[in-house]
Amino acid sequence: MSVSVKDVAALAGVSVGTVSNVMNRPEKVSAVVAARVQSAIDDLGFVRNDAARQLRARRSKTIGMIVLDVRNPFFTDLARAAEDRAARDGLSIILGNSDEKAERESTYLDLFEEQRMHGVLISPFGDMTDRLHRLRERGIPAVLVDRTSTDDAFSSVSVDDVAGGNLAVDHLISQGRTSIAFVGGPLGIRQVVDRLEGARAAAAGHPEVSLEVIITGALSVIEGRAAGNAILARPAGDRPDAVFAANDLIAMGVLQALNMQGQLHVPRDIALIGYDDIDFASAAVVPLSSIRQPTALLGQTAVQILLEEAADPALAARQVVFQPELVVRESTFSPDRAAARPNLPESSLER
């Protein structure tokens, strides 16, 4: 039924050790023997049993990755970049979706530990510090993605979310907006907290600007829609004139709610800016201004660091922080208002 190295060895008339060498250190084997073994492999359709290989090697050739939401294009882009980088070293990535639930996150970590993964990339939701320490003791390094480590014990690769929040609100203010609502949540997610902090810092420098906070239950289109409807339900004088959404999914939900009733116009009545700059952002009802993160770079760097730590466990933890970038589209672009504080040339309007 199943063909093993033993069968290959028998057919090729060599020992199992040689078969292994043909596959793993070809330079140790003479060309003629290698050819004989190779054709035996082909004839029998031999496929190496990864479980046996891992058992002997004491670690897997797979990297486990946990993200907050696979349906968020930001994370799939991230995963894809990580996958490409890992493939260069012959490793594969398995992707787990925590769905912003600590329990699911924990289940994946259990799975990864059982599988003796080569390493773990995680965009943590709950506080997994203890779990990660334990994994490391077991020889499985972890790198935090899109999040700075709370205790500097682990390497992390992230984007400066405080700066991003700052960029977003600064931009809204420069467009003449003074009553700004931050929409996002839950506050258990570090990115949300940081972006809010950046927003607060930006608003703090302007006494005429007020910043209101609307907490959502998750970073999804649905939750954004609910928040948008809540805003819509308020009396006209009581509505913000700008919304900074914690990510693009929220922003799209808000946009949908505001726009659908046809009463309010974005950006005329309410300016809207999101975060992540996912593909869908530019395809929205009104092309969405957003904060772009260097996603591919983030993913590649995370894998790079993980591999280095896997090779040398004694390596010190590193914190890599990238800077986000403002992308202006129609959802915040109002020439009339901006004229008051012109700090964005029209040419920076991106499609």
Q: Which residues bind a second copy (CB under 8 A)?
A: 1-2, 45, 47-52, 54-55, 58, 60, 70-71, 73, 76-77, 79-80, 92, 94-95, 97, 110-111, 113-116, 134, 138-139, 221-222, 225, 252-253, 255-256, 260, 279-280, 282-285, 287, 351
Residue 245, C-beta contacts closer than 8 angstroms, at least 6 positions apart: 183, 184, 224, 251, 254, 272, 273, 274, 275
| DSSP single-letter state for residue 276 | B
User: Which residue in 10, 38, 44, 53 binds DNA (CB under 7 A)?
Assistant: 53
The reply on whether position 18 binds DNA by CB under 7 A is yes
For residue 262 the two structure tokens come to: 């046809």
Q: Which stretch binds DNA (CB under 7 A): 54-62, 65-73, 235-243, 296-304?
A: 54-62
Between 58 and 351, name the residue whose CB sits nearer to DNA: 58
24 contact, one of DNA, a second copy, none, CB 5-8 Å limit per kind: DNA
Cα 286 to Cα 333: distance, rounded to the nearest angstrom: 10
Strands (E), 116-260: 119-122, 142-145, 155-159, 179-184, 210-215, 242-245
Label the pairing between strands 242-245 and 271-273. parallel
- Smallest separation, CB 55 to DNA (Å): 4
**Residue 24 vs 343, nearer CB to DNA:** 24
User: Which of residues 33 and 94 has its CB atom nearest to DNA in the complex?
Assistant: 33
Contact 250, 274 (CB under 8 A): yes
- Whether the CB-CB separation of 287 and 351 falls below 8 Å is answered with yes
Query: 56-75: which residues touch DNA (CB under 7 A)?
Result: 56-58
How many other C-beta atoms lie within 10 A of the C-beta of residue 3?
A: 16
* Nearer residue to DNA within complex by CB, 21 or 156: 21
Interacting partner of 95 out of a second copy, DNA, none (Cβ under 5 to 8 A depending on kind): a second copy
Give the strand pairing for 210-215 and 179-184. parallel
Q: Strand order of the sheet with strand 119-122? A: 92-97, 62-67, 119-122, 142-145, 155-159, 319-322
Measured from the CB atom, is 25 or 351 closer to DNA? 25
Candidate list 10, 33, 70, 111; residue touching DNA; CB under 7 A = 33
139 scored as a contact of DNA (CB under 7 A) = no
> Is the Cβ of residue 48 or residue 200 nearer to a second copy in the bound state?
48
Task: Choose from DNA, a second copy, none: what does 97 bind? Cβ within 5-8 Å by kind.
Answer: a second copy
Task: Please say whether the beta carbons of 296 and 81 come within 8 A.
Answer: yes
Which region, judged by CB under 7 A, interacts with DNA, from 22-30, 171-179, 265-273, 310-318?
22-30
Q: What share of the chain is helix, strand, coil (3-state, %, to 5)?
A: 50, 15, 35
Question: Which of the stretches 1-9, 69-77, 133-141, 218-226 binds DNA when contact is defined by CB under 7 A?
Answer: 1-9
Contact in structure between 187 and 219 (CB atoms under 8 Å): no
Report what 115 binds from a second copy, DNA, none; CB cut-off 5-8 Å by kind: a second copy
Q: Which residues bind DNA (CB under 7 A)?
A: 2, 4-6, 13-21, 23-25, 28-30, 32-34, 46, 48-49, 52-53, 55-58
